[in-house]
Chains A and B, each alone.
Chain A
């Protein structure tokens, strides 16, 4: 379970988060949505401790994360842009992350799933964007932690890998994990998520099921419901 209370963060004069209150229950897929620059990544990075909030408290599985790093054993994180040290080989990177976190054999299965065997001996700097994203996915899913955070997991993936990713996410959910996703691809979000968290101008604008959002905005489909929130607020 992740609880966020009264979270504030500003970068210079730019108030990115202004008083976010959010409780994410155990189990299920939660999609964090919002326009560009609404603070989705900042929110996620605050939970991970990469961004230090100005005010507010965050607890992950009943542990206050301030000044702690051990709680990250329970979180798998997929960063938005797969930037890896370019002079490392894929194999070496996987081995290194395992060494830093804990031993696992799950990586073999994931490498097979995403057909990464031919790339294992290649340097990360020479991989295409989509292949890097697959490596990124392997690194994220190999540890089997109770909380999974995915920042734009679909970027650069081909249709087959996208289907595999969806299956993988659903399988993780079936294990009872809590999964947080940000994405701009509405069809993906609609298909996969149980609940929507909509951030607007640094605050939680809406939290609930897709059905509830449709009723609230009086729109027949999800994409228009999101669009109507945006146009009503930016008109």
Chain B
């Protein structure tokens, strides 16, 4: 698996898109630090960008890479390699190169700004950790979609839909449910609802870390009580890990049954 990972990773590192993605984050980091000198505010703005953009890039890149490397995959399948190592190697190659673009692109300007002496280092680390989790999750989802759909157009369609659903539609539905049942106690429901969507979960984690939960009112207080504790933090990371593990398991399972 490590050899496949190596080849996929270097293949991607040579592609233009990795540099574009890296340069985008580099630029974003520099501009944010240059325009406002408040590190916490920069982290909040970054959060808003990352929460939406990372999943989108992860899904699109994942689907695109799978379809583009079809020939390479077929070549590998005739070699004495396990199917699971071929697909996991490719998946990790994509996910790691995307994560690296994110971490380096944002990390470099912040290190130069003097992150290590600042108190925002934990907020910033959490931002990068959730960003990496989101990359791992959405690339895995993308590989699942591509494995199940021979047709490229359909694959891209489903990939965009799943991103749209988790990033936008889910929140809308969630909010509508909360409004419809506002007469009932909804603390638990909203807590569970947040846990079930990796994007919402990441956003909540970062917001609460930034100590602006007062803006969220009563629900914020409930959330703070839960996520603010180490128990809540552990549960959240377990949830995010589950979101990574489940699609990966399906990649292994699905790839074993597929005909090429």
Give the B-binding residues of A (Cβ under 8 A): 11, 45, 48-52, 69-73, 75, 77, 79, 83-87, 96-97, 99-101
Known A71-B80, A72-B78; contact A85-B259, beta-carbon cutoff 8 A: no
Interface size, B (range): 20 to 34
In chain B, residues 61-78, which have Cβ atoms closer than 8 Å to a Cβ of chain A?
A: 69-72, 74-78
Counting from the closest, the 5 A-B pairs by CB-CB distance are A83-B71, A72-B80, A77-B78, A85-B72, A73-B80
Query: Min CB distance, B193 to chain A, in Å?
Result: 39
B69, B74, B80, B258: the one within 8 Å of A70 (CB)? B80
Taking CB atoms, residues of chain B closer than 8 Å to A70 are 80
B7, B72, B74, B256: the one within 8 Å of A79 (CB)? B74
Contact in complex: A50, B74 (CB < 8 Å): yes
Taking CB atoms, residues of chain B closer than 8 Å to A52 are 256-259
Query: Min CB distance, B1 to chain A, in Å?
Result: 11
Taking CB atoms, residues of chain B closer than 8 Å to A97 are 75, 79
Known A51-B259, A79-B75, A99-B3; contact A85-B80, beta-carbon cutoff 8 A: no
B70, B76, B81, B260: the one within 8 Å of A51 (CB)? B260
Give the A-binding residues of B (Cβ under 8 A): 3-4, 7, 11, 14-15, 69-72, 74-83, 256-260
Measured in the bound complex, the distance between the Cα atoms of B156 and A110 in whole Å is 41
Contact in complex: B79, A101 (CB < 8 Å): yes
Q: What's the A-B contact tally at a CB cutoff of 8 Å? A: 60
Taking CB atoms, residues of chain A closer than 8 Å to B259 are 11, 45, 50-52
Known A85-B72, A87-B14; contact A100-B78, beta-carbon cutoff 8 A: no
Nearest residue (CB) in B for A77 is: B78
Measured in the bound complex, the distance between the Cα atoms of B236 and A39 in whole Å is 51
Query: Min CB distance, B85 to chain A, in Å?
Result: 9
A71, A84, A87: the one within 8 Å of B75 (CB)? A84
Measured in the bound complex, the distance between the Cα atoms of B85 and A69 in whole Å is 11
Query: Min CB distance, B55 to chain A, in Å?
Result: 27
Max count, chain A CB within 10 A of own CB: residue among B3, B76, B77, B82: B77
Taking CB atoms, residues of chain A closer than 8 Å to B80 are 69-73, 101
Nearest residue (CB) in A for B83 is: A69
Contact in complex: B83, A85 (CB < 8 Å): no
Some 27 contacts from A to B, beta carbons below 8 A apart, are A45-B259, A48-B77, A48-B78, A50-B77, A50-B260, A52-B256, A52-B257, A52-B259, A69-B82, A69-B83, A70-B80, A72-B78, A72-B79, A72-B81, A77-B78, A83-B70, A83-B71, A83-B75, A84-B71, A84-B75, A85-B69, A86-B71, A87-B11, A87-B14, A96-B7, A97-B75, A100-B4
Given contacts A48-B77, A97-B75, 11 further A-B contacts (CB under 8 A): A11-B259, A49-B77, A50-B77, A50-B260, A51-B259, A69-B83, A70-B80, A73-B80, A96-B7, A100-B4, A101-B80
Query: Min CB distance, A153 to chain B, in Å?
Result: 15
Taking CB atoms, residues of chain A closer than 8 Å to B258 are 52
Measured in the bound complex, the distance between the Cα atoms of B78 and A143 in whole Å is 13
Query: Min CB distance, B6 to chain A, in Å?
Result: 9
Measured in the bound complex, the distance between the Cα atoms of B260 and A48 in whole Å is 11
Measured in the bound complex, the distance between the Cα atoms of B81 and A75 in whole Å is 12
Taking CB atoms, residues of chain B closer than 8 Å to A72 are 78-81
Measured in the bound complex, the distance between the Cα atoms of B12 and A107 in whole Å is 27
Nearest residue (CB) in B for A102 is: B80
Measured in the bound complex, the distance between the Cα atoms of B83 and A72 in whole Å is 12
Measured in the bound complex, the distance between the Cα atoms of B70 and A52 in whole Å is 18
Nearest residue (CB) in A for B259 is: A51
Known A51-B260, A87-B11; contact A100-B71, beta-carbon cutoff 8 A: no
Measured in the bound complex, the distance between the Cα atoms of B260 and A11 in whole Å is 11
Taking CB atoms, residues of chain A closer than 8 Å to B78 are 48, 50, 72, 75, 77, 79
Measured in the bound complex, the distance between the Cα atoms of B256 and A69 in whole Å is 12
A71, A86, A100: the one within 8 Å of B81 (CB)? A100
Contact in complex: A45, B81 (CB < 8 Å): no
